[in-house]
């Protein structure tokens, strides 16, 4: 019996040794499946599922826009990926079309619906009719940014210089940001609220370069000077 016990122990040791010496198989993390097309979702020509999801959300928000063909990076590194030419938000026209990345356009549409229109109705009893801007996608560098490309160079920023109410009343960042009454209150209120929607919010409280407009962007940096 003792000999049989020693033989069994010897076999077990040999088996454990062989297992220890066997090459280990690398464990690979499961590759996540690409997002599926949801019922009712439209896949836009030339766009993948993630890009199409943004475009569907933008259309559902009531925005009016055209697709911009995917462009190769410019000589200075300027790119506009998943770009749209935005002509109207859900209830607010633009004074002229603006080219933006889809995520930035969607953020603007969400901000218009959640903040711009409700604030106008609260302070004036009238809705906004028009948003006046100074540009979106533009291939240029930051002012005072050490040569770094502006978020405008990727369509992730828009500059706003004023608004027009439904009765024709004009609101100017340059002329009325520090004014009393509902005009100044509206401009200061939406500038503060923008910090909850955009990564960088600049205006007259930021520096002298933004005394006449708001800069709202969805880039990597964070700064709220509303």
- Residue 37, in any domain of the structure: no
CA angle 67, 70, 76 (to 5 degrees): 125
- Residue 125, in any domain of the structure: yes
pLDDT digits (tens, 9 = 90+) for 86-121: 999 999 999 999 999 999 999 999 999 999 999 999
In the block, tokens 């356009």 appear at 105
Which among 168, 181, 173 is positioned nearest to 203, based on CA atoms?
173
- Residue 10, in any domain of the structure: no
- Residue 195, in any domain of the structure: yes
CA distance 62 to 91: 8
Domain hosting residue 174, numbered range: 43-224
pLDDT, residue 67, reads 94
- Residue 49, in any domain of the structure: yes
- Residue 2, in any domain of the structure: no
Which among 85, 95, 104 is positioned nearest to 219, based on CA atoms?
104
At 22, list the tokens: 């066997």
Which among 80, 82, 30, 77 is positioned nearest to 52, based on CA atoms?
82
CA distance 161 to 213: 4
pLDDT digits (tens, 9 = 90+) for 205-223: 999 999 999 999 999 999 9
Q: Is 20 exposed, middle or buried (0-12, 13-18, 19+ CB in 10 A)?
A: exposed
CA distance 144 to 6: 81
Domain count, the chain: 1
- Residue 11, in any domain of the structure: no
- Residue 18, in any domain of the structure: no
Judge whether 105 and 58 are in contact, CB under 8 Å.
yes
CA distance 89 to 64: 6
| pTM for the full predicted model | 0.80
Q: What is the mean pLDDT of residues 185-206?
A: 97
């Amino acid at each position: 019996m003792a000999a049989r016990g020693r033989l069994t122990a010897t076999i077990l040791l040999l088996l454990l040794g062989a297992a220890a010496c066997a090459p280990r198989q690398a464990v690979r993390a499961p590759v996540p499946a690409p997002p599926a097309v949801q019922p009712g979702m439209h896949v836009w020509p030339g766009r993948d599922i993630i890009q199409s999801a943004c475009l569907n959300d933008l259309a559902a928000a009531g925005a009016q826009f055209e697709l911009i063909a995917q462009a190769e990076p410019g000589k200075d590194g300027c790119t506009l990926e998943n770009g749209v030419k935005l002509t109207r938000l859900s209830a607010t026209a633009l004074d002229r079309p603006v080219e933006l990345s889809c995520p930035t356009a969607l953020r603007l549409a969400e901000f218009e619906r959640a903040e711009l229109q409700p604030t106008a109705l609260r302070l004036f009893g009238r809705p906004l009719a028009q948003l006046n801007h100074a540009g979106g996608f533009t291939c240029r560098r930051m002012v005072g940014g050490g040569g770094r490309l502006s978020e405008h160079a990727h369509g992730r920023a828009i500059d706003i210089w004023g608004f027009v109410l439904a009765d024709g009343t004009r609101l100017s960042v340059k002329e009325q940001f520090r004014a009393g009454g509902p005009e100044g209150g509206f401009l200061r209120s939406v500038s503060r609220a923008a910090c909850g929607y955009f990564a960088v919010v600049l205006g007259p409280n930021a520096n002298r370069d933004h005394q006449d407009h708001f800069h709202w962007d969805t880039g990597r940096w964070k700064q709220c000077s509303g």
